[in-house]
């Protein structure tokens, strides 16, 4: 189980190697994604809080990266954070997400990206529920829900 110390170590010292890499040009991503999906996943923007019904869905299944379909989270790790974005306590695999220090708003945060295709997913914070204490605050538009792995 990952904890905040693991996240910070990855962000500072380097992320685990992904199982595979998906690399496309900006033009290829634009053909695949809607303008909003592109803005969030490829340009690291954030969707409006409470703009997706995904926050209130808790059925079993998995959440994958919208861009490359890498499985990122299991619904069993999803919780209602009250923030307006889908939140999870752990990724499915240690190497499914990469971490980057983000100082864009005058504070240091940890950005989460898909370790396979570098899609911006959201941020992770150390204020989640036990036992990990992590809150992966994700953009719903960056995720694709499936009923099985």
- Sheet with 120-125: strands ordered across: 78-79, 87-88, 135-138, 120-125, 109-114, 97-102
Beta bridge partners of 113: 98, 120
- Point out the least confidently predicted range of 18-27, 31-40, 96-105, 130-139: 96-105
Domain residue extents for the chain: 4-146
Q: Which of 55, 65, 67, 137 is catalytic?
A: 137
| Confidence at residue 107, expressed as pLDDT on a 0 to 100 scale | 82
Measured CA to CA, the distance from residue 102 to residue 56 in angstroms comes to: 28
Pairing of the two strands 78-79 and 71-74? unpaired
Per-residue pLDDT reduced to its tens digit, 68-91: 999 999 999 999 999 999 999 999
| 149 pLDDT above the threshold of 70 | no
Q: What are phi and psi of 119, to 5 degrees?
A: -70, 135
Mean pLDDT of the chain: 95
CB atoms within 10 A of CB 58: 11
Please provide the size of the chain in residues: 149
When pLDDT is cut at 50, 70 and 90, the band that residue 33 belongs to is very high
Taking the alpha carbons at both ends of the chain, their separation in whole angstroms is 20
- Any catalytic annotation for residue 68? no
| Domain boundaries 4-146, corresponding CATH code | 2.170.150.20
When pLDDT is cut at 50, 70 and 90, the band that residue 105 belongs to is confident
């Amino acid at each position: 189980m990952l904890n905040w110390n693991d996240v910070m170590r990855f962000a500072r010292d380097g992320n685990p190697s992904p199982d595979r890499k998906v690399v496309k040009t900006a033009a290829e991503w634009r053909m695949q994604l809607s303008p909003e999906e592109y803005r969030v996943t490829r340009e690291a923007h954030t969707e409006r809080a409470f703009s997706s019904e995904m926050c209130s869905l808790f059925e079993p299944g998995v959440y994958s990266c919208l861009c490359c379909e890498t499985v990122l989270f299991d619904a069993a790790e999803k919780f209602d954070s009250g923030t307006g974005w889908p939140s999870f306590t752990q990724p499915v695999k240690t190497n499914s997400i990469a971490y980057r220090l983000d100082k864009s708003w005058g504070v240091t945060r940890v950005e989460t990206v898909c370790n396979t295709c570098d899609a911006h997913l959201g941020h992770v914070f150390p204020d989640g529920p036990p036992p990990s204490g992590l809150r992966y605050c994700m953009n719903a538009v960056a995720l694709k829900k499936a009923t099985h792995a």
